[in-house]
Amino acid sequence: MRILAMASILLITACSTADAGHSTGNDTCDDDILHWSNMIDKRTDAPLHAKSVIMADLAQKATSVWKCENFMEEALRMIRKTDGEYPTE
């Protein structure tokens, strides 16, 4: 019985996917805004932190979901580490 239970847990774990908190092209910007708001206070050392805040503000004022997602992706890029380094431009 234990083997069956452990095998079931292993199968469920192996087949499930992880979600980083947002995705693009899903006809909503809410998840992007939430993801950014969860990250921004943790990334105050990013060189483009202030520009990311401005870009997120533009996103929230955007007139379409597409524009909002594009602005938010740029705001996230500015505070996202790639290979351990922040972008500088």
Per-residue pLDDT tens for 9-52?
Answer: 655 544 444 445 556 667 789 999 999 999 999 999 999 999 99
Arithmetic mean of pLDDT over the chain:
82
pLDDT tens by residue, 21-33: 556 667 789 999 9
Radius of gyration of the chain (CA): 18
Per-residue pLDDT band at 84 (split at 50, 70, 90) = confident
CA-CA-CA-CA torsion sign (81, 40, 32, 54): negative
At residue 15, the pLDDT reads: 47
Q: Which two tokens stand for residue 47?
A: 């060189």
